[in-house]
Amino acid sequence: MYLQKDNHISRHAPYKKCIRDENDKPIGLLPQAFEMRAERNEKALSVNWLEYYKDTHVQNVTKMVTDFRTTRTVGLNSAFGIANVGELELACATMNQTSVRILYDSKATSKTKSSNASHATIIRLPFNDDDFQSILSSNIFTEIIPNSSIP
Amino acid sequence: MNDITLTPLGTSFNRIQSTDLKDTTKSNVDGYPMSLNAQFSGDILNQALLNDIDKLFESIRRVESNIPSSKENNSTRQTLDEVIFDARANVKVLFSEISMYFPTELKEKLFHQIDLLHDTDDWEDGDNPVQISSFKTFLRWFYLDQPSQLPNFGMSNGGLLIATWLSNHNKDRLILEFRSDDHIKWFATKHYDDEQDMSSGITSASRLIHHLASYKASDWFIKP
* 0.90 surpassed by complex ipTM: yes
Q: Does B75 touch chain A (CB under 8 A)?
A: no
Q: Tell me which residue of B117, B121, B148, B136 sits closest to B36, measured CA to CA.
A: B148
Report the alpha-carbon distance of residue B15 to residue B6 in Å, rounded: 10
Q: What chain B residue is nearest to A29 in terms of C-alpha separation? A: B154
The DSSP call for residue B124 is -
- B162 at the A interface (CB within 8 A)? yes
Chain A contacts in chain B segment 32-61 (CB below 8 A): none
CA distance A31 to chain B (A): 8
Q: Do B122 and A75 touch (CB under 8 A)?
A: yes
Least Cα separation, residue B135 to chain A (angstroms): 15
**Closest among A28, A144, A141, A1 to A85, alpha carbons compared:** A141
Can you tell me whether residue B27 is helix, strand or coil?
coil
CA distance B51 to B59: 13
User: What chain B residue is nearest to A135 in terms of C-alpha separation?
Assistant: B198
- Mind telling me how many Å the CA of A14 is from chain B's nearest CA? 6
* DSSP codes, B51-93: HHHHHHHHHHHHHHHTSPPTTTT-SSPPPHHHHHHHHHHHHHH
Which DSSP letter does residue A140 get? I
Alpha-carbon distance B36 to B14, whole Å?
13
Q: What is the pLDDT of residue B216?
A: 87
Within 8 A by CB and 6+ apart from A133, the residues are: A31, A32, A34, A35, B187
CB contact under 8 A, B185 and A130: yes
Q: Could you tell me if A7 and A50 are in contact, meaning their C-beta atoms sit under 8 angstroms apart?
A: yes
Percent of chain B residues topping a pLDDT of 70: 66
pLDDT (average), residues A139-149? 97
Establish if B168 touches chain A: CB-CB under 8 angstroms: no
Flag if B189 and A134 touch (Cβ within 8 Å).
yes
Burial B95-125 (b: 16+ CB within 10 A, else e): beebbebbbeebeebbeebbebbbbeebbee
Chain segment A87-119, per-residue pLDDT in tens: 999 999 999 999 999 999 776 666 555 678 899
Q: Which residues of A touch B185 (CB under 8 A)?
A: 130
**Which of B113, B130, B157 has the highest number of chain A CBs within 10 A, making it the mutation to test binding with A?**
B157
Give me the pLDDT at residue A28, please: 97
Nearest-CA neighbor of B36 among B58, B2, B3?
B3
| Interface membership of B122 toward A (CB under 8 Å) | yes
Give tens-digit pLDDT for A3-54.
999 999 999 999 999 999 999 999 999 999 999 998 888 899 999 999 999 9
**Which long-range contacts (C-beta less than 8 Å, at least 24 apart) are formed by B200-209?**
B200/A31, B200/A130, B200/A131, B200/A134, B201/A130, B205/B137, B205/B140, B205/B141, B205/B144, B206/B39, B206/B144, B206/B182, B207/B39, B208/B141, B208/B145, B208/B176, B208/B184, B209/B29, B209/B30, B209/B32, B209/B36, B209/B37, B209/B39, B209/B145
Enumerate the residues of chain B whose CB falls inside 8 A of the CB of residue A76.
Answer: 121
B157: contact with A, CB 8 A cutoff: yes
Q: Residue B116: which residues within 8 A CB-CB, separation 6 or more?
A: A15, A16, A77
- For residue A17, the chain B residue with the least C-alpha distance is B154
Structure confidence at residue B77 as a pLDDT band (50, 70, 90): low
d(CA A150, nearest CA chain B) in Å: 17
Interface mutation target, options A18, A29, A32, chain B, most CBs of B under 10 Å: A32
Q: Are A29 and A18 in contact (CB under 8 A)?
A: yes
pTM reported for the whole predicted model: 0.83
B194-205 tens-digit pLDDT: 899 999 999 999
**C-alpha separations of A91 from A52, A121, A131, B6 in Å:** 23, 17, 11, 46
- For B119, the closest of A15, A130, A138 (CB atoms) is A15
Q: Which residues have CB under 8 Å from B101's CB, separation 6+?
A: B7, B9, B13, B56, B143
Residue of chain B with shortest Cα separation from A35: B157
Contacts of B154 in chain A (CB under 8 A): 16-19, 30, 32
d(CA B29, CA A28): 29
